[in-house]
Amino acid sequence: MTVNFNHKQSAHCENGVVSNLLRFHGMEFDEPMVFGIGSGLFFTYLPFVRVNGIPGVAYRIWPGQIFKRFSDRIGIKIERKKFSNPAKAMDELDRMLDKGQPVGMLTSVFFLDYLPAAYRFHFNAHNIIVFGKENGRYLVSDPVMETTTEISYEDLARARFAKGMPEPSGRMYYPVQIPGDYSVEKALWTGIKQTSDHMTRIPMPLVGTKGMKYLAGRLRKWPERIGNRKAILWLGNLIRMQEEIGTGGAGFRFIYAAFLDQAAHKLNTDKLTDLSRQLTKSGDQLRDFAYYAGRVCKNRKSDTKTFAELGDMLEACSRQEHAIFQELYEVSQSK
C-alpha cells in the first residue's frame, strides 16, 4: 500500500497536512495561503476550561476548521469520518490506502513514537498524513518532520484514540472532489474578512484582541491570586501554547504576515503589504514576551521582568494587533 507522495515540511501541522494533501491531488497552495484563506489566526483565553488543571489558551481556531473553511472557499469536497471502535478505524484506513488515497487524521502527540521523547506530551490535536503501509508499518508524512517516517499499527491506533480533550475519536479526512474552476481572489477576501472580524469585532472579552488584553490583566495578578509556584506553572504553559504547540502565537503572526504579502500581489493591494510588515513586528513583540516569560520561569537573576511588566507587554501586543486587524477589516469591507 504505497503511493508516490511528495512530503514537504511546514511550521504548523494542519496547514502542512492540507497543503500536502492538495499537492497530491494537483493543487498548489503553500502553508501561508492555506492558513490565510482558512482564517486560521485567532486568540482565545478560557479561564473556565482547564487543560491538565491550567486555563485554556489558544492562538488559532479549533482544530479542523482551517481545512473546513479553506475547502468551502475553494470548492473542495472533503470526506470526514470518526469512529467509536479502533479496529474499524484502522480497517477503514487500510481500505483507503488500498485505493491509493493518502489520509489526514488527528492524533495524540504522546503516542507518536517517532518524535523525540521531550516533545511527546498529552496533546490530542496533532494532524498527520498516512500515505502507505509496508511490512505492517504505516508510512507517515508528519508536517513537523523534515522527512517521512513510519509507525506501528499499535502506536497509531493509540494515537488515534487517546483519551482527553479533545478526543481524536479516530478522525480521518481526505479530498474526494477537486474543483475545476474557482476564484482565488474571492477566497482571499473572504478569509481576510473573517479573520479581521473575529480578532476585533466579536463582543466577548475572552476572544480576539480583547482576549489578549483580558489575559494581560489576569497575568499581572497571578502571583497574588494563585501563588508564585502555580503562577510560574501557568506562565510556562502560556509560553508552550504560544511557541511550541503548532507554532503558537508568534509563529502564526509570521505565517499570516506571509499570507498578507502574497495576497497583496495577487489582489494588487499595497495596503496589505504594509499590514504584513506591521504584523511581523507584532510577532517579534510576542517572541520578546516569550523570552522574558521564559526567564521568569527559569528563575534567571538578570534581564528579567515582573508579572506586571509581562502583562504590560502582552497588552501592548493586543493594542497593536487591534489596530492592525481593524484596518484590515476596513480594507476587506471595501471589496
- CB-based contact 290:284 (threshold 8 Å): no
- Are the C-beta atoms of residues 10 and 19 closer than 8 Å to each other? yes
For residue range 208-254, list pLDDT tens digits in order.
999 999 999 999 999 999 999 999 999 998 988 887 765 555 788 99
- Residue 244: Cβ-neighbour burial (10 angstroms; 0-12, 13-18, 19+): middle
Q: Give the cell for residue 234.
A: 501557568
Rounded Cα distance between 49 and 57, Å, is 9
pLDDT (tens digit per residue) in 260-313 = 999 999 999 999 999 999 999 999 999 999 999 999 999 888 888 999 999 999
Q: Give me the phi and psi of 128, to 5 degrees please.
A: -135, 170
Residue 113 burial class via C-beta count within 10 angstroms: exposed 0-12, middle 13-18, buried 19 and up: middle
Is-contact 114 151, C-beta < 8 A? Answer: yes
Per-chain mean pLDDT for the chain: 92
Backbone CA torsion sign across 89, 94, 95, 101: positive
Q: Which residue has the cell 521523547?
A: 117
- Give the tens place of pLDDT for each residue, 59-95: 888 878 999 999 999 999 999 999 999 999 999 999 9
Percent of the chain with pLDDT over 90: 77
Using CA atoms in the order 124, 126, 131, 132, what is the torsion angle rounded to 10 degrees?
A: -40
